[in-house]
Structure 1
């Protein structure tokens, strides 16, 4: 059979491409032909029309709304999350085969239509930003998807802004945070390290200024689609103005989204319906959001944010080590899933709050370092384990182990997912222990990080880089030894059971 697939994940980095590779490998193993369009952070190359026309079925392995889904109208399809093919690509492919056979036997096909959540863009307008919210999901699922939509669009701003600010400090020194735009606008000296540092710092600070508005805007967009964008961005901007920061952005995003959603669902005369999404909804929802944030919620949210920042800044000694260990454990629980994202979002929120700080040892930077190191540990530990005890792993896992070296070094925790999916009860506990050790050691050593991503490729931006690497190596070794120990115990138990079965008389 011939299949086409679309893969996408909220961040558009790891899961998108791992799912594509898993589907391609499963199709080759089954003797099928598979063409995958990855709608990731790097953009995508659309499938050729003749390839789509020849396909027997479509696989949507996506956590975002599929762009250009109308191209597949009339085709039988399966619609799963991006993790499904990573965990069991053969099962996803089997479902696609069944859908293709049912269609060939004359079963009705409803392929191509969006399956709920954000509404599709008008045919004559520009495409809307991508999101996917399960309309039939539970309240908790939808809240998480709304939140992760905002976070996924915020992360590139955190990465770009954080790295630019860090480079500014590297080039111009920590006093560069006193630079003013006029210093550059009035006369930029290309031969001055100070001016280059100021340029990097001011550019990064400008990018950072978008963090909270983008977070709030896209949370509101996930809830109400395009009508939520204007009040959402406005709510985020007001949150920054009143000092409510990241926490205020979360509240403003949900508030703006529900206001816009309520307005779009109001029964209005046909004559007014055309101007509702362009004029009335953004206007009224923006005013309502501004009123609530300025008058009612701004001050208490700012006080709460100040309290949170004060608590985080006061951490030291055992408290900081405990937090680093907890962050490490959370990064390894589900390797890119909800718990991992909570820990990572907490770290990036602290980074955003202290991003332009001239204090190189701020606690927020240590928390960010702990999160990244702990996220690198699972794939690196598993890669090492496949070298130490290859007989404990399948040939496919050994190949995955080779790729996990690069994935782990690049802070792509998802490189550990194939191992965890195949043997979760023995692999995940070992990963958690190793990542917990790494996070705790980073806190003990006081290593810091101003960039939210990058792995070893941003080592120049790490404070106490040798100690950071020492913590990473220690956690990697603990993970590898833990995985080998648990898998060995399991193998001995299985072997003992087999010997017992072989020596027990029939009927006993």
Structure 2
């Protein structure tokens, strides 16, 4: 059987390539001919050609972010999340072969949004939840490069001092002021919410949703509805555009007017007015209550939040729970409360570091291949790429996942208790090298060290020593 596949994840890093490798290996072992296109952080690699798609018997999409399926109309297609492919690729490929269904029709005029809505309706409640998560992750994948670029440039501006961008301050520096503007709330980080909303809307309605998504995100930012409002606005804009595309019918000769005039004007007007008069006010109140609760955390609340944060960051290592707590911390981050994000990042850094340390302390618990992966896990962990722990978790989930959850819970809790704060929404341990980015950076590093040791020791205790044959 000829198979073509596409893999992608919100960050375009670990899950994208791990899923691709797993699917390719499983398909080849079953005797199938396969080519996998990866859509990573830097764009498409090993891109599928039209001839390869036309000659394929099956299309597999393993994605946690939006993938346009227009080029696969008329082909048998199977779509699921990357985690299923990573955890059990053999079963994933077998399900794809059995359950794939023809996507769209070669004679259907609108094979994008219309068919996507029809597919959502057929999938029912469970499918709807899956689609909502996928749309949200698409928005996050659009937002992350903006957040990272803005955050790092903002952090660099702090080298001259926290007030180096303020005219008249003794530490004022024009380069720092420019970097602060480019990266800060008036620049890249100010685009965070509109880009999030546009990404969600694009995932729902393709290009028809982008304009309305940007506008709803900008309104959310303007009226103080923030990150939460941006998420709601993205869904509102996307589904508004999707309905308009489906139900507004015009003659073929007027299709261009529909695309560049009717849909943009109506989708922006309808969704933006609803956002302004209906959604904005209650979301702003809810956001204010949430921000107040986060600001007023006492020690007991910090313990509970730290445990929950660490466990969510480590449980699925870049999956839905991980991204959910990240989104929660960004609500506080946008409001100027940088403590929750430091806790989230501590929980994300710890799992790969704990496994890397455990490979050093308890070598006889790991195969030679795992010990080699442990070396790269040091770098991945320090860079806040939690996915570096996935290869270990896939091989031994019942032992690995509880241990790294415990380690991350320790790191996240200590980070909150020590009131550590990070003004950069990414960067991992490397961010501590930039002056003025962290409050209590030494205590933050100590928090991670404690969580790393706890996780590594627990792994050494629960994993059994391997025989000589198993080690190889």
More displaced 10-residue stretch of structure 1: 345-354 or 20-29:
20-29
Q: How does 1:87-486 map to 2 (within 5 A)?
A: 87-92=87-92, 120=112, 136=123, 138-171=127-160, 173-176=161-164, 178=166, 194-205=173-184, 206-266=187-247, 268-270=249-251, 274-354=256-336, 364-460=337-433, 461-486=437-462
Which residue number in structure 2 is paired with residue 15 of structure 1?
A: 15
Quote the offset at 1:436 in angstroms.
Answer: 0.4
Q: Which moved more, 1:317-326 or 1:442-451?
A: 317-326
Distance 1:142 1:73, change over 3 A: closer
SS of residue matched to 1:174: coil
Cα separation, partners in 2 of 1:76 and 1:236, compared to 1, 3 Å: closer
CA distance in 2, matches of 1:82, 1:419: 16
Per-residue CA deviations over 1:127-155 (Å, capped at 9, x if unaligned) read: xxxxx989735222222122222222112
What is the distance in 2 between the residues matched to 1:3 and 1:263? 35
Task: Call closer, same or farther: CA 1:440–1:63 in 2, change over 3 Å.
Answer: closer
Runs of 5+ in structure 1 lacking a partner?
100-107, 122-131, 184-191, 355-363, 492-508
Q: Which residue of 1 aligns with 2:62?
A: 61
| CA distance in 2 between partners of 1:413 and 1:443 (Å) | 19
SS at match of 2:45: coil
Question: 2:49 & 2:222 partners in 1: Cα distance?
Answer: 49
Asked if the contact 2:352/2:381 (under 8 Å) is kept, the reply is yes
Q: Distance in 2 between matches of 1:440 and 1:374?
A: 9
Post-superposition Cα deviations, 1:107-134, rounded to whole Å, max 9, x if no partner, equal x9959989x9x9549xxxxxxxxxx989
Change (3 A) 1:48 1:156: closer
Query: Which residue number corresponds to residue 127 of structure 1?
Result: none
The residue aligned with 2:44 is 44
Larger Rg: 1
Deviation at residue 24 of structure 1 after TM alignment: 5.8
Unaligned runs of 5+ in 2: 114-118, 467-472
Alpha-carbon distance in structure 2 between the residues aligned to 1:307 and 1:226 = 35
Q: Which moved more, 1:337-346 or 1:263-272?
A: 263-272
Aligned to 2:335, what secondary structure does the other structure show?
A: helix
Task: Output the CA distance in 2 between the equivalents of 1:431 and 1:141.
Answer: 26
CA contact (8 A) 1:134 1:142 kept: no
Look up the SS of the partner of 2:230 in the other structure.
helix
Aligned 8 A contact 1:7 1:36 in 2: yes
> Post-superposition shift, 1:47?
4.3
- Could you state the TM-score of these two structures normalised by the residue count of structure 1? 0.77
The CA deviation at 1:81 is 2.9
| CA deviation string 1:10-37 (max 9, x = no partner) | 2212211222344566678889886543
SS at match of 1:404: helix
How many equivalent residue pairs?
Answer: 450
| RMSD between aligned residues | 3.7
Pick closer, same or farther for the CA change 1:169–1:473 going to 2, 3 Å: same
CA distance in 1 between partners of 2:56 and 2:278 (Å):
55
Deviations 1:37-82 (A, max 9, x none): 3211112334486994998876543334556974x88988765432
- Give the deviation of 1:292 after TM superposition: 2.1
Identify the range of structure 1 (428-437 vs 465-474) with the bigger mean alpha-carbon deviation: 465-474
Q: Is residue 164–residue 172 contact of structure 2 (8 Å, CA) maintained in 1?
A: no
Matches within 5 A, 1:79-90: 79-90=79-90
TM-score (norm 2): 0.82
CA 1:216–1:159 in 2, change beyond 3 Å: closer, same or farther? same
CA contact (8 A) 1:161 1:203 kept: yes
Query: What is the distance in 2 between the residues matched to 1:331 and 1:48?
Result: 34
Deviation at 1:234, TM superposition (A): 1.1
- Closer, same or farther in 2 for the Cα pair 1:19/1:467, shift >3 Å? same
In the alignment, is the contact (CA less than 8 A) between 2:70 and 2:111 conserved in 1?
no
Tell whether the 8 Å contact from 1:133 to 1:146 is kept in structure 2 after alignment: no
Q: Which residue of 1 aligns with 2:469?
A: none
- Mapped to 2, the partners of 1:405 and 1:112 lie a distance apart of 45
Alpha carbons of structure 1 residues 448 and 431: separation in structure 2 relative to 1, 3 Å: same
